[in-house]
Amino acid sequence: MLKNLILSFCLLVVFHGLNAQEKYAPEMARMRHLVRSENSKLNTIAEQIFSQCIFSKLFDPLPPAMPDKWFSPGGGYVGQWIWDTQFVLAAYAPMGEDSIIRGVYRNYWNTIENNPEAPPGSYRYGMIPNFLKDWPPLGYSQIPILAWGMLQVYRQTGDRKLLEQSFPFLEAFDKWYSTERDIDNDGLIEFGAYKPIGKSSMVQTARYETFDYFPPMDSMKLTKHPKHPERGEWYGNVEGVEQTCFLLMSERAMVEIARELGKKEVAGRYEKIIRRRVAAIQKKMWDQEKQFFFSLDRDTDRPINVRSIQGFLTMCCDAATKEQAKSLAAELMDTTRWWCAFPVPTVALTDPKFDSKGFWRGDMWPVTTYLVAYGLNRYGYHREARLLTDKIVDLFNRNGVNERYNAINGNPLGVNGLGMSCSVWSMIVENYYGLTNDYSTICVPPNAKGKHLKLGKIELNYPEENQVELCSDLARSFKIIYPAQKSDGKFSVSCGGLTIRNAALKVKEMSVEFTTLPGKHYLVQWNKSE
């Protein structure tokens, strides 16, 4: 009986995928031209992701909340969410649909400009709700990675107009988040809500700003704002590692975007904010004895001793020191805590609150596993990131694309084809092909020979283990890194058979940097010294 049920489920998943691919045949044909690799199994995963998580989630405008096209997260939810959509847009960017992407962001800016409950000058001005649908909008926000998501898009498309149109609104959102979700002004982010949603209490509504039913939030209470007690009990007494890290990811992106737009003073201001926030994480959230980061009680600074996935997110925003990252990477590989059959569980296996099927209480989400791999790569732990990728690719091949999974046995949980599970494709691009998320750094993977990737405006090929061929439709400053090489050697870079003069190259240790011209093909070769 159980075997029949499992077979029926697998057939349903395959049937859904085939139907989606047939329904979106023109989009799929274009996708196969713009996004492909030499590996047929990985191409199948990419096609499943694009058909189920992206193309089937794009809808026509729904004013007044969404005057432009929008991406649904899936699972029957009608509306444009914050953090889910950023992963979808990053994966969708190679399609080159700049007008659609701008429209998706304009839906957010429309809320800032026209929310009747948050006019300019009010304390709520700049807020973007968790998802756009109702009008007036919802009274709580969510994971604040808008600027980070936009930077992922811009690095792939070069759409400067997107940055220019969006920057004032990104600043307004960051200012709202920094003030309304850090009421004690210590640099660490709390949670809150201005009005409840549906039958949920105000406390649960505030919990929706993060990982819904996350154990570190179990005992959270709402309090009044110390400077504005007349507003009511809206502000949570938990300072979250994850939310602080997510805001830092966006603020680091704001620095890069500001520099790109020539706003040096603004970039400098954000750099000061970042230093202060990182210092607060280091001072208050790191437990030296337990070698892990923990959320805090806002008023006492006491740690909330739940060992959860949030500790690893400090690597996503460069908040961990090199020594702390080393401890985190080692802990990740601990089979008694994290390295189970299908990591990374959202709560450690040894924690009393672990539940392999629980919603953010021990289940495995592709999106957070991607973020852990993303953080590992930032600190040079490429082997661990690739092993994570192997695990999740195996899981997708077994059980299809899903919202979340049982980390112990891999059984699918939740929504099939959830939008933000498309982050696994970004994980494959970075860890199997070495194209990092700045889309200009290539960290050559082991056994690279024969690998080939086309990703929108970038094409990457490895003819031999010591060779990298690349072409970009945009001018880019590329950096090629050979992390596995230990011996001395030298680089050569040629374009159209002509060697680029050494004066145009920047060679440091096992890496070389150079700037490409649009549409030109370059060959990078590394040779050991004789």
Give percent of the chain above pLDDT 90: 87
Residue 209 forms part of a structural domain: yes
Residue 106 forms part of a structural domain: no
Residue 242 forms part of a structural domain: yes
Predicted local confidence at residue 483, as pLDDT: 78
Predicted local confidence at residue 15, as pLDDT: 42
Q: Is the pLDDT of residue 10 over 90?
A: no
SS3 call for 412 = strand
Looking at the structure of the chain, the number of domains it has is 2
Please give the single-letter amino acid code of residue 262: G
Residue 407 forms part of a structural domain: no
Q: Is the pLDDT of residue 487 over 90?
A: no
Condensed to tens digits (0 to 9), the pLDDT of residues 383-414 reads 999 999 999 999 999 999 999 999 999 999 99
Q: Is the pLDDT of residue 5 over 60?
A: no
Condensed to tens digits (0 to 9), the pLDDT of residues 318-343 reads 999 999 999 999 999 999 999 999 99
- Could you give the CA distance from residue 204 to residue 515 in angstroms, rounded to a whole number? 50
Name the residue range of residue 220's domain: 181-305
SS3 call for 268 = helix
What mean pLDDT comes out for the span 53-70?
97
Q: How far is CA 420 from the centre of its chain?
A: 9
* Phi and psi at residue 311, to the nearest 5°: -60, -35
Question: How do beta strands 441-443 and 476-481 pair?
Answer: parallel
- Could you give the CA distance from residue 378 to residue 381 in angstroms, rounded to a whole number? 8
Residue 430 forms part of a structural domain: no
Are 267 and 259 a contacting pair, CB within 8 Å? yes
CA–CA distances in Å: residue 83 to residues 148, 216, 337: 10, 20, 27
DSSP designation for 205: H
Lowest-confidence pick of 171-175, 238-242, 252-256, 509-513: 509-513
CATH number at residue 502: 2.60.40
- Could you give the CA distance from residue 369 to residue 269 in angstroms, rounded to a whole number? 32
Q: Which of 281, 305, 329 is the last residue of a domain?
A: 305
Residue 226 has a CB neighbour count (10 Å cut-off) of 10
- Could you give the CA distance from residue 452 to residue 84 in angstroms, rounded to a whole number? 29
- Could you give the CA distance from residue 525 to residue 517 in angstroms, rounded to a whole number? 18
Condensed to tens digits (0 to 9), the pLDDT of residues 81-103 reads 999 999 999 999 999 999 999 99
Q: Is the pLDDT of residue 452 over 60?
A: yes
Q: Is the pLDDT of residue 430 over 50?
A: yes
- Could you give the CA distance from residue 466 to residue 241 in angstroms, rounded to a whole number? 41
Predicted local confidence at residue 343, as pLDDT: 98
Which H or E run includes 275?
Answer: helix 264-280
Predicted local confidence at residue 22, as pLDDT: 73
Q: Is the pLDDT of residue 115 over 90?
A: yes
Predicted local confidence at residue 528, as pLDDT: 74
What mean pLDDT comes out for the span 463-470?
95
**Which band of pLDDT confidence, cut at 50, 70 and 90, is reported for residue 482?**
confident
What mean pLDDT comes out for the span 369-388?
97
Give percent of the chain above pLDDT 70: 93
Average pLDDT of every residue of the chain? 93
CA-wise closest residue to 94 among 60, 145, 46: 46
Predicted local confidence at residue 16, as pLDDT: 45
Residue 98 forms part of a structural domain: no
Predicted local confidence at residue 3, as pLDDT: 43
The alpha carbon torsion through 145, 149, 154, 155 (nearest 10 deg) reads 110
- Could you give the CA distance from residue 528 to residue 449 in angstroms, rounded to a whole number? 17
Predicted local confidence at residue 484, as pLDDT: 64
User: What is the reported pTM?
Assistant: 0.94
**Which band of pLDDT confidence, cut at 50, 70 and 90, is reported for residue 303?**
very high
Residue 298 forms part of a structural domain: yes
- Token pair, residue 435, equals 């194209």
**Which band of pLDDT confidence, cut at 50, 70 and 90, is reported for residue 295?**
very high
Residue 455 has a CB neighbour count (10 Å cut-off) of 20
Q: Is the pLDDT of residue 221 over 60?
A: yes
Are 253 and 274 a contacting pair, CB within 8 Å? no
Are 274 and 252 a contacting pair, CB within 8 Å? yes
Q: Which of 305, 333, 365 is the last residue of a domain?
A: 305
SS3 content of the chain, % helix, strand, coil (to 5): 45, 20, 40
Q: Which of 279, 305, 331 is the last residue of a domain?
A: 305
Predicted local confidence at residue 9, as pLDDT: 34
Residue appearing with tokens 């007690």: 229
Handedness of CA 197, 201, 202, 205 (dihedral sign): negative
Predicted local confidence at residue 8, as pLDDT: 39
Please give the single-letter amino acid code of residue 89: L
Residue 348 forms part of a structural domain: no
- Could you give the CA distance from residue 457 to residue 254 in angstroms, rounded to a whole number? 24
Lowest-confidence pick of 10-14, 289-293, 423-427: 10-14
Predicted local confidence at residue 488, as pLDDT: 66
